[in-house]
Amino acid sequence: MAEHNITGQKGEEMAAKFLEEKGYKILETNWRFMNLEADIIALTAKTLVIAEVKTRKSNYFGEPESFVNKQKQKNLIKTANAYIERKQLDYEVRFDIISVILNDTSSVKHIEDAFYPLL
């Protein structure tokens, strides 16, 4: 496995653990729809959370969350819609970003309501 894949996998594991410690119930990790993917799908209270995890070894080139561009947001919205339809769910939906930096002082930053689907 390539090093960047290992970094991403570690970040997703840290993010899932972080959410669980905050009381979220992890429903899915790496859920796929066609060629799209949601890193984490979780439930908190009565809100379905679709979380994109961005992991970097440093913030030298910018904060990890700044790499969630408009196309990635559109893809997450499509993936969320497919998940909701397939599972026949009726929850409020929120899109979060979890930014992970893996270094000597690793950190996890949870950005709730990071973006909103456009009507």
Mean per-residue pLDDT, 91-109: 92
Give the count of beta carbons closer than 10 Å to the beta carbon of residue 26.
16
Q: What is the pLDDT of residue 33?
A: 95
Domain range holding 74? 3-115
Tally of domains within the chain: 1
pTM (two decimals): 0.91
CATH number at residue 64: 3.40.1350.10
Q: What is the pLDDT of residue 6?
A: 76
Q: What is the pLDDT of residue 89?
A: 94
Per-residue pLDDT at 119 exceeds 60: no
Question: Could you report the per-residue pLDDT of 54-64, keeping only the tens digit for each?
Answer: 988 877 787 77
